Amino acid sequence: MAIDFTLPPDVVATRARVRAFMQDEVAPTEARMMSEGGWRQGYAALRDKARGAGLWAPHMPAEYGGMGLGPLAMACVSAECGRTMMGAYVLNCHAPDEGNMHTLLHHGTEEQKERYLRPLVDGRVRSCFAMTEPEVAGSDPTGIRTAAVRVGDQWRIDGHKWFISGARGAAFAIVIAKTDPEAEPPQARNTAFIVDTDAPGFTIVRDIETMAGRGNHCEIRLENVRVPDAAILGGRGQGHRLGQARLGPARLAHCMRWIGTAETALEMLTRRALARELHGGVLADKQLVQGMMAESAMELYAAKLMVLHAAYLIETGRPFRQEVSIAKHHVANMLWRIVDRAVQVHGALGYSSDAPLERMLRHARSARLVDGADEVHLQQIAAGVIAAFREEGSTRRATGAELL
Ligand SMILES: Cc1cc2nc3c(=O)[nH]c(=O)nc-3n(C[C@H](O)[C@H](O)[C@H](O)COP(=O)(O)OP(=O)(O)OC[C@H]3O[C@@H](n4cnc5c(N)ncnc54)[C@H](O)[C@@H]3O)c2cc1C
């Protein structure tokens, strides 16, 4: 038998530890913080506990103080984290720091790793990733206007960014800026810079109000910000490539967490349907409600398989772009539909803030925009189908490489 879906014993054991930590520590603390109205205060203590329990920075190598897990094991860990609001933050594997750590690990110089990666993994600082701009379409990063111009032995950066998650309180930003406006192809025009957020000229304009409230998704301005050559991350003209390399695994990490959230919503739907009495029975007796359960179960199962397969491709160094795009689109939309069904089955309670579902639904909406909007992934997936057919006379390569 070539395929073995059995998870390795060490992954099962790690998942059990993370599951217990989320159930016994994070979920009750979050519930208490929510009821007391100040839901951020308890996280420092939880992070200390996670570190003490050996559940710290699971995606980072042991030499940096992490658990050294690969994408497959991370799929299990992240799904458990996604069952709570801030579980990933508690374990120090939340967006955007998780993606930034990977980027620094794989593309940073030794000096950059010591100065930026180590404190990030230690949890002493946070970071942000600044690519999107209000004036140009974020779906086409070649249009970025933020410019980095060489002045003497420094770079001068001027630009305007928005929706920069985690910017307030971050120690540094990975900023994508245009350094070579005439370069061909256009993907070679951008460069990534590490910019300290206390650098003169780096200003946080506001925390943008979204349909999910204020989530530290900031508008920032860079005016005459000066950085040395040593601030370039991954090489001049490599900004686009680095962004793509970062986004593949980072997108999948989002998917892993969203699976945990969707599973939580389906459990809430089921619990409610089994308890809510009407017409001499319960909601779960109704075929229309069973249909919602069945649709959700099928979509969730497909999501798990897609994410595990894409994680396997990344872990084994195979091409993963098509599968990550398929997984990202499917999981983001699956999340939206399952949380929406859970709201429906809860009736007025689901629509109210007495239950967490309305908040989950508002947060879920951004999944179809972040890390590539739905349509960008659909276009990418279709391009993969066409290329596979043209080159091989079959679409097999584009529908789950090497599967069937
Ligand atoms: C909560 C949140 C957090 C974010 N965090 C960050 C962050 O930390 N750092 C960062 O740099 N950015 C961040 N973003 C920005 C995000 O990456 C962009 O919103 C996204 O890339 C889309 O860019 P845009 O908003 O400029 O939309 P546009 O590019 O203007 O696209 C608008 C719409 O056009 C449609 N569209 C786009 N391309 C195509 C196409 N090829 N075919 C058909 N239709 C298309 C899609 O429906 C899309 O939603 C965040 C956004 C949100 C909502």
pLDDT tens-digit series, residues 279-311: 999 999 999 999 999 999 999 999 999 999 999
Average pLDDT of the residues of the chain: 94
d(CA 322, CA 371): 14
Query: What's the confidence (pLDDT) of residue 280?
Result: 97
Query: What's the confidence (pLDDT) of residue 1?
Result: 46
- Using the predicted structure, report yes or no on whether residue 274 has a pLDDT greater than 70: yes
For residues 156-167, average pLDDT: 98
Which residue has better confidence, 38 or 49? 49
For residues 316-341, average pLDDT: 96
pTM: predicted TM-score of the whole model, two decimal places = 0.95
Query: What's the confidence (pLDDT) of residue 29?
Result: 92
- Give the distance (Å) from ligand 1 centre to CA of residue 167: 17
Cβ partners under 8 Å of residue 176, min gap 6? 130, 131, 141, 144, 146, 190, 191, 192, 239, 243
With the most atoms of ligand 1 within 8 angstroms of its CB, the residue from 100, 128, 133, 139 to mutate is: 139
- Using the predicted structure, report yes or no on whether residue 61 has a pLDDT greater than 80: yes
Pick from 233-237, 258-262, 393-397, 399-403: least confident: 399-403
Query: What's the confidence (pLDDT) of residue 39?
Result: 57
- What residue's CA is closest to ligand 1, atom 21? 138
Query: What's the confidence (pLDDT) of residue 40?
Result: 63
Bin 310: left if φ > 0, else alpha if -120 < ψ < 50, else beta: alpha
Pick from 48-57, 189-198, 245-254: least confident: 245-254
Closest CA to 243 of 190, 197, 196, 195: 190
Pick from 207-211, 264-268, 400-404: least confident: 400-404
- Using the predicted structure, report yes or no on whether residue 337 has a pLDDT greater than 80: yes
- Is any ligand 1 atom within 6 A of the Cβ of residue 246? no
Atom of ligand 1 nearest to the CA of 217: 3
d(CA 340, CA 131): 31
Q: Kindly calculate the radius of gyration of the chain based on its CA atoms and give it in whole angstroms.
A: 22
Other CB atoms within a 10 A radius of the CB of residue 216 amount to 16
With the most atoms of ligand 1 within 8 angstroms of its CB, the residue from 370, 378, 379 to mutate is: 370
For residues 245-249, average pLDDT: 74
